[in-house]
Amino acid sequence: MASTVLDSALYRDSFGTPAMRGIFEDAALLARYTEIEVALARAQGRLGVIPAAAAREIAEKCDAATLDLERLKQETETVGYPILPLVRQLAAQCGEAGKFLHWGATTQDIMDTAVAMQVRDAFTLIEHDLAALRAILLRQAKRYRDTPMAGRTHLQQALPVTFGYKLAIWLATTDRHAERLAQLKPRVLVGQFAGAAGTLASLGARGLEVQKALMQELRLGQPAATWHAARDNLAEAVNFLGLLTGSLGKIAFDVMLMASTEVGEVAEPFVQGRGASSTMPQKRNPISSELILAAAKAVRQHAGLMLDAMVQDFERATGPWHAEWIALPEAFMLAGGALHQATFMLGGLIVDEARMRRNLDMTHGLIVAEAVMMGLAPHLGRNEAHDIVYDACRAVAEHGGSLADALAKVPVVTQHLDRAALEALTDPANYLGAAREMVDRVVGGR
């Protein structure tokens, strides 16, 4: 029976995706281990390190699908690692050639290289879903480039922005993540083959040659030096996921706040029954945003665990390595799930432009008090203009009416600004700064 949200029949597709789970499931991992053992034999056979006939026999006979999983489980619990029990079963499959299996390798070589291959496959999924998300944000940033809405600081209305500007900020963030992913892959997608203490001593002068041939077989980079106990590459991979899901969490948090009843500017896509309450039929909870936010918090913890696991002793760790077994697969599954939820949510986001405008106008011009102050400043000086507009804002707050009405009652203001000028200055749509130009810069020629 499943015991966590990542493998629960109820929750697994809320917090993850079948494709990402497929990369990290036991059967896929054992297949990777076997693939590496076969690739090592093939490389060594080609180089004459082991008999070519034995290498062919190993390639033909090794079959992860026929492993005795119960025996493998029991022996792994005894040994502490799965590779020795795995090699015993694979060697038995190969008959006499089995004695050349795992030649010059050590357990961590196979396990670390398998992780590099898992990360490569997982990054392919992340890259695909991130591209889909960026395409959605690009399309929506263009669509809502000129849609004015209230910008908020400290949860209070601050100055007008456009919804396209908000979307462009989200898009720029995801663009940077795509750039980070492209930059980190050459550092992270590097295999491991170095022997007992990392020096390849068991293969004599052929060690580096075998290492290069193995990495060519597996389409991985060859390390400049052993990384058995230098884990910055995998820590970088998971901390990238922390950055990515952190950005997704920020987007989700914004959407949740904008979807609140009192704000009502956006809503998640409508799906019959989604977000329903068992007691309140009117409810439409922002489920995808909630799942994204939860995933972001969990990935952040795993990113910290990977940083902790970097502190390893001497040439092979006595425990930190094991922490990676927990953190890395879960971080990728949660990140994949968060990206899936984000593309669903933003791809079908319901935007209420009329509500955005009503919210923008709800302070009757106070949101653009700065605009009036700057309009008066050339005539009165900034400080005096500030005090006059401040008093007018207090009058609106206490007695109602609009900011334009309050200012029209101040003679020193009307000496310089007529009613039309006041109406123009207090129209939020006229005080958007460079918001639209920033959208254009992020969108570029796309």
Q: Is 383 exposed, middle or buried (0-12, 13-18, 19+ CB in 10 A)?
A: exposed
Looking at the annotation, which residues are catalytic?
154, 277
CA distance 23 to 46: 29
User: Phi and psi (nearest 5°) for 314?
Assistant: 50, -135
Beta-bridge partners for 162: 148
Region label for 104, one of left (φ > 0), alpha (ψ between -120 and 50) or beta (otherwise): left
CA distance 302 to 170: 24
The half-sphere exposure of 434 on its side-chain side, counting CA atoms within 13 A, is: 5
**Which of 302, 303, 308 lies closest to 320, judged by CA?**
308
Residue carrying the six token digits 């432009």: 353
Give me 383's structure tokens: 């400080």
**Which of 89, 72, 83 lies closest to 36, judged by CA?**
83
Q: Is there a contact between 33 and 117 (Cβ–Cβ < 8 Å)?
A: no
User: Phi and psi (nearest 5°) for 152?
Assistant: -130, 135
**Which of 40, 153, 166 lies closest to 103, judged by CA?**
40
Beta-bridge partners for 157: 152
CA distance 181 to 221: 16
Give me 321's structure tokens: 């390595």
Give me 220's structure tokens: 């991985």
